[in-house]
Amino acid sequence: MNILILGSGGREHAFAWKIAQSKHCDKLYVAPGNAGTAKVATNVDIKVSDFNAIENFCIQHGIDMVLPAGEETLVKGIYDYFLQHENIKHIPVIGPSQHGAQMEGSKAFAKSFMLRHSIPTAAYKEVTLQNIEEGKRYLMDSPLPIVLKADGLAAGKGVVICETHQEAQEELSQMIESAKFGDASSKVVIEQFLKGIELSVFVLTDGKDYLLLPTAKDYKRIGEGDTGLNTGGMGAISPVPFATHELMLKVEEKVIKPTIAGLQKDKIIYKGFIYFGLINVNNEPFVIEYNCRMGDPETEAVLPRIENDLVDLFQAVADEKLNTQVLKESTEAACTVVLASGGYPSEFEKGFEINFENEKSDALIFHAGTQFNQHQKVITAGGRVLMVTALDNNLKNALKKAMTATSEIDFKNKYFRKDIGLDVC
């Protein structure tokens, strides 16, 4: 099979690394990819939003399966685009329909879905310009802190947690009246704050059945001890020690099964990954967000722990035969540490050469913001540059191994968190 992955981050490199090992995979392409994906696949210079160019490429190169790894493409409707075009409608796209991708593309859509299907989540109110005064009153009557979420995609920046009522009112006004996040904040979800520890749970579904993938915990803040600005994620571990059998049974019964049943009931076509951003409040799972794709950097910790041939699973999704598959999860623990450009998530410099010469460990190095310069040297090209994943029978040792590996790779202004996983060890 010839397979095309859409995207260019660490998640896409991890998918490429895993799919390249599949017995079904002949040619593997990544569009646009990065310096890391170039090692395991062929990079293609096509933007993930250019559906027409993707279509032409698929026809010219006999593509048999497409994996849109990020939300942008899915929310823009790549799944439906393939179905609507006669010459590519036979190619399975592993992901939800545009309707299904609204689970991530619109916070209000996700909240009303959860309410309709009795899925545990924080109480909320939907606000637009029409009912902004009502929204402000709702804020005043809410306990603090209070959470404001731009309805649409806002590159991970659309969630603001306010500590005072005044701050919340100003934020609401900025989001709606001053279009702080553009169109994405013309509608806002005001949500009650939930106190607990976060957990990422992933399933792969064919719309009827699902496979529960290994759990992960993401470290979103830039600073050690979970301080400072939010980022795309600075590290991850898998599995999560506090995701006990008992908690996961509750997650399946109260969250996953009602979500899959809800999608069916609402006639939403969904053949791909669902990422449940959960918060564990006194041993009860609540959903804080749905994403319509795998997490980044969680994928880099989760995929190395899956022993199945991923293409077998994807084919079963396409054929709606996921009930014939069993997930094989490795007993090893994984720790992923993100090497970032100093200054990220604010301003940072890029274009620095990355020195891998001292790298001796057997850690997996996934590239995110990297590219080749004119001398074919790998240089930094983004905020999150590399994801280093180490595996070991025990999580503590995996953390140590990841730290050793990170010290063996060097580039100017390298920054990483040294406390990934320490809070749960």
Q: Would you say 258 or 295 has its CB closer to ligand GLY?
A: 295
Q: Residue 147: which of ligand GLY, ligand AMP, none does it interact with, CB under 5 to 8 A by kind?
A: ligand AMP
Q: Is 68 in the site for ligand GLY (CB under 6 A)?
A: no
* Beta strands 42-43; 27-32: pairing state: parallel
Q: CB under 6 A: which stretch of 187-195, 264-272, 290-298, 324-332 binds ligand GLY?
A: 290-298
Residue 120 in the binding site for ligand GLY (CB under 6 A): no
Residue ranges of the alpha helices (H) in 193-255? Answer: 245-250
> What is the strand order of the sheet 188-192 is part of?
124-127, 188-192, 146-150, 159-162
Q: Is 100 in the site for ligand GLY (CB under 6 A)?
A: no
Q: Given the complex with ligand GLY, which of 16 and 338 has the nearer CB atom?
A: 338
Q: Between the CA of residue 225 and those of 228, 262, 283, 395, 419, what are the distances in Å?
A: 9, 37, 22, 18, 7
Any contact of residue 32 with ligand AMP (CB under 6 A)?
no
Is residue 367 within 8 Å of 297, Cβ to Cβ?
Answer: no
The pair of three-digit structure tokens given for residue 421, joined into one six-digit string:
């996983």
Under rule CB under 6 A, residue 199 binds ligand AMP: no
> Which segment (128-136, 180-188, 192-200, 372-380) binds ligand AMP by CB under 6 A?
192-200
Question: How big is the site for ligand AMP, counted in residues (CB under 6 A)?
Answer: 11
77, 120, 239, 295: residue in contact with ligand GLY (rule CB under 6 A)? 295
Report if residue 122 touches ligand AMP, rule: CB under 6 A: yes
Three-state SS at 256: helix
Q: Are 69 and 6 in contact (CB under 8 A)?
A: yes
The C-alpha angle 293, 294, 296, rounded to 5 degrees, equals 125
Do the beta carbons of residue 15 and residue 298 sit within 8 Å? no
Confirm if 55 and 78 have CB atoms less than 8 A apart.
Answer: no
Q: Is 72 in the site for ligand AMP (CB under 6 A)?
A: no
193-252 residues near ligand GLY, rule: CB under 6 A? 218, 233
Backbone angles phi, psi at 128, to 5 degrees: -130, -175
Contact code string over 258-277 relative to ligand AMP, x by CB under 6 A: -------------------x
Compare residues 12 and 191 and give the one whose CB is closer to ligand AMP.
191
User: What Cα–Cα distance (Å) separates residue 373 from each residue in 37, 292, 351, 352?
Assistant: 15, 33, 8, 10
Q: Of 406, 127, 74, 423, give the one whose Cα is nearest residue 268.
A: 74
Short-list 206, 212, 201, 202, CA closest to 326: 212
Stretch that binds ligand AMP, among 53-61, 125-133, 187-195, 387-395 (CB under 6 A): 187-195
291 binds ligand GLY (CB under 6 A): yes
Q: Is 281 in the site for ligand AMP (CB under 6 A)?
A: no
193: contact with ligand AMP by CB under 6 A: yes
Where along the sequence are the contacts to ligand AMP (CB under 6 A)? Answer: 122, 147, 159, 191, 193-194, 198, 220, 277, 288-289
Where along the sequence are the contacts to ligand GLY (CB under 6 A)? Answer: 218, 233, 291, 295-296, 298
